[in-house]
Structure 1
């Protein structure tokens, strides 16, 4: 049986840093980018928003594999001088990386193979987990599980050869894997800064970090470098996170992206703003760039303005109502499906997106090649439309099928818009749904309108709370840590984007129950098997992967951890003086920061 590999963290780390000029700018320039609330987690593994990821993309570099703007995963030859792969007699596959010798950290010290080996050992260590991080770095390699769980203190599948060469060996039991290069995708971590005085101890049993208390050191990094990284490898270096704004400055020691290009802007500021007026702020010159604009009214305003330009592309993701599948009423599939029938998705899309999006029927985005190949089959899935009778039919199959006495059958004909006639179970407990949405958000507004109008007609006691984005993420990702009596919310309106690698194993497999990665807390053996089937293919088995993807979508639709609402076109709106915002479904503005000038 194939062991289970690593990808969530790697997905972020292999994002490419593409485009730009070769010289440090002679005149200082600053790009100000608008965002929602920034969590402040600038090291991977602590749950974060897309805005934290932007910062990591700006300050991280020298990845062994990069993602191009078209979604192709390529060897980063700016980093890797030579790559050798070999398979032994039992099927283990070794990747040996010979590195270039001219890579530097932002403080001018040299990046070596030790920093890559240290990165793997650090992120895969139980000490990092004890510090509160979740990581999948190193999964798939020989000896990962024993090292990760603390059974041994050496990682068998990792080897430091010399100052500029290291190797990793993928366990034969992990192969084939459709996205195999993800097992060999790494960035460096600054060993001398995170673990001063440490050494790497290498012998026939593997590699380990020696010479310090790793648990204590990991805890220190998790409370310092996590929030204020000091030594970094990307095109920019961290300056500050103050007054809801992150400032980074050009890293003069950055060698270049996988295309051998360097940054042009002196400073980049990511600033939390009122997203209701984000496009207006670009038009008025208060900020330079906002991304991922989806509202039709805003898009039309930006296109009509003489002070702005736009770049648009099909979204590699979707928006929906995300539910916890282990808590209260939303633990029941029939309730989740009933909620899908208690909203008019077309009306939401019309109100929010105008003509710039469409309904979706699964866990995909319009830019995914798998969707393009399977479009007819996916579009043939039954559509969720507002259907009060269907919702009541589904709810009658659950424990909430009685009136307040817990005995008399619920009569849908008595349900009313005022919500005075509700569903109860035999314990006389009401059917309650508590939703959390962000403030100043048109999607939240429209989800509230739909649910408040329709849930009473199915006997549901629905309430909604609003807060900032950081509070929403904290509740969504970490509610599993609370006692059942302390938990509050069942559902959230959110959106997600996919990388070039699509491996939902890391989001829905039961191996990740009780972690923030499986935030919906899905536990479905049939879905588990389909996700393993998808990933257990050779990289060349594209047709088979596409077919397995469709099977996955069908089962996902049946259990419905998320009510899919829309996929759409993203519009990035920027001041007329900003150049090079050539974003794509696979490259954010931060990933192509070196293309951007002002």
Structure 2
């Protein structure tokens, strides 16, 4: 995953009006409704699903590989003319790419090998991290640690060979890796636009960025800082099917890129404009039905789904979700730093009631970090279904809390659960006299937020927990979720209701290994556990062909995750992408959202 997990509102419903791909013409406008947009529009900043749509439509599609409809990786032949993979005597593995020579940036400049090498030199640099960005790009390649830590200016495993040829070499110590193609793949960044005064020096020892200026006017530190303050919010030179136009009044406007060669199948967009704008999530499906927007995607609520199904002018595509929704904890912040507090909170909600109220018959509860679309889940379904089930049990929640520091009442006496009633007011304290307070942050216009509030307000008083809930827009929620550890005195919240979508690469190393503790956008639950470190490393160390061994390790991970419970898993479900009857080709699936298949969707007037 490399924290490519896209965290979305548990009721992430998106409005889309899309036009199909026929040769040599663009017309019409697509309106995409979303919750609040954060405004981070280049890779490395933010993980909002809605910002990522903009990133992918403007900066995606020119990677060396793409993900197929069944979740497999394939070489992107629109980009790659030839790929050779060689292994040396030391076990290092080199991917040598020859690029197609008709790729262009939206300003008409050619996309060449130096743009791919530049991406690795830029995103793996300590200067990029110093500018506030997060990236695992280049991890696994020879010389990555020395380059990333600033001990070397040369990235040994990256070489610029010719104008349209480059190579990356995977370190033998990082092999085998079950998702090896992740190490060997690459995408471009516009070197000519981002670093006017920089050049790439490359030889048998690797590659490095240098300055072409007669004086030291340009440095990587200066360059990364400038991009983080400019292109981050309004990207100019890009390679995707759409160009960024503006972000105003909570709406992003994109325009078709005439220089775009095509997606992996060679298809081009036919819609001239795409607009992604904030809409009220309570009325999103209604807006499809009345024609205000053309589609909403990722619909989970049964009531909305039924309403759309009963409308003659509305269509839908449904598919099993490659992800899950839950209540995500900060495991480094009291009181949810104690796993028994986290577990107690899980036993103080009726997940089946939440499921019924939100999803109806279009999903099921889950007991781990998985989605029903994953092949690993299908392989291990019986064992997964036998994981400890988190059911409402106030007595057991109290038993768990009796094993924590929160065993006193306000007067310093032993907590007496018989005095804890639905009226509240009788709370647990620790020996320092601090009350057991859990602060939850939920998004506005969100049915899951409403149901979490109902459950915890009804049940937390019986366990002596002072539960408090705050609502905010999605952007503020993400600020606290991703960066809570860095907020100092402003830090307030223990839990957040969110949902996550997995990529084709399920690699929880970047999500739960302590190496990434307190790194922005990575290890977001802030969990430290030696056993978790061990299993997340071991899961990676299989050959791509060792599916059975990887699947067994995946099950071990799920069992440990269920024990530590950094998230209360609530549901995985059947997604419904609901759209106007004027759209066709809307064949989304667990591995392709609407941005991935933008060139396959058409719209009649």
TM-score (norm 2): 0.95
Partner of 1:489: 493
Q: Secondary structure of the equivalent of 1:25?
A: coil
Partner of 2:46: 47
Query: Structure 1 residue 197: deviation in Å?
Result: 2.4
Partner of 1:545: 550
Matched, 1:37 2:18: no
Structure 1 range deviating more: 251-260 or 472-481:
251-260
Partner of 1:198: 198
Contact between 2:19 and 2:583, CA under 8 Å: does it hold in 1? no
Partner of 2:11: none
Contact between 2:349 and 2:391, CA under 8 Å: does it hold in 1? yes
**Structure 1 residues 20 and 534, CA gap change in structure 2 (3 angstroms):** farther
Distance 1:356 1:468 in 2: 26
Distance 2:540 2:107 in 1: 40
Distance 2:6 2:394 in 1: 40
Contact between 2:105 and 2:260, CA under 8 Å: does it hold in 1? yes
Contact between 2:332 and 2:526, CA under 8 Å: does it hold in 1? yes
Query: Structure 1 residue 155: deviation in Å?
Result: 0.4
Partner of 1:157: 157
Aligned residues: 585
Query: Structure 1 residue 8: deviation in Å?
Result: 3.4
Q: Secondary structure of the equivalent of 2:357?
A: helix
Query: Structure 1 residue 86: deviation in Å?
Result: 0.7
Distance 1:286 1:9 in 2: 32
Query: Structure 1 residue 233: deviation in Å?
Result: 0.7
What are structure 2's unaligned runs of at least 5 residues?
8-17, 212-217
Distance 1:447 1:238 in 2: 37
Contact between 1:177 and 1:535, CA under 8 Å: does it hold in 2? yes
Contact between 1:248 and 1:267, CA under 8 Å: does it hold in 2? yes
Distance 2:83 2:183 in 1: 14
Matched, 1:277 2:283: yes
Deviation above 4 Å: which 4+ runs of structure 1?
9-12
Query: Structure 1 residue 312: deviation in Å?
Result: 0.6
Distance 2:485 2:209 in 1: 32
Partner of 1:511: 515
Q: Secondary structure of the equivalent of 2:225?
A: helix
Distance 1:11 1:30 in 2: 26
What is the aligned counterpart of 1:8 among 3, 19, 36? 3
Query: Structure 1 residue 11: deviation in Å?
Result: 9.6
**Structure 1 residues 156 and 167, CA gap change in structure 2 (3 angstroms):** same
- The superposition leaves residues 499-550 of structure 1 with CA deviations (integer Å, 9 ceiling, x where unpaired) of 1110011111101101121111011110111111111100000000000000
Partner of 1:587: 592
Distance 2:20 2:237 in 1: 22
Contact between 1:19 and 1:592, CA under 8 Å: does it hold in 2? no
Distance 1:96 1:526 in 2: 37
**Structure 1 residues 549 and 438, CA gap change in structure 2 (3 angstroms):** same
Partner of 1:185: 185
Partner of 2:582: 577
Distance 1:547 1:411 in 2: 44
Query: Structure 1 residue 203: deviation in Å?
Result: 2.6
Contact between 2:255 and 2:272, CA under 8 Å: does it hold in 1? yes
Partner of 2:214: none
What are structure 1's unaligned runs of at least 5 residues?
1-5, 13-17
Distance 2:219 2:385 in 1: 55
Partner of 1:352: 358
Structure 1 residues 96-107: aligned runs within 5 Å: 96-107=96-107
Partner of 1:298: 304
Partner of 1:3: none
Contact between 1:10 and 1:182, CA under 8 Å: does it hold in 2? no
Distance 2:62 2:475 in 1: 30
Distance 2:89 2:99 in 1: 27
Matched, 1:338 2:344: yes
Query: Structure 1 residue 486: deviation in Å?
Result: 3.3
Partner of 2:13: none
Distance 2:463 2:533 in 1: 32
Distance 2:433 2:4 in 1: 45
Q: Secondary structure of the equivalent of 1:328?
A: coil
Contact between 2:159 and 2:204, CA under 8 Å: does it hold in 1? no
Q: Secondary structure of the equivalent of 2:427?
A: coil
Partner of 1:565: 570
Partner of 1:148: 148
Q: Secondary structure of the equivalent of 2:261?
A: coil
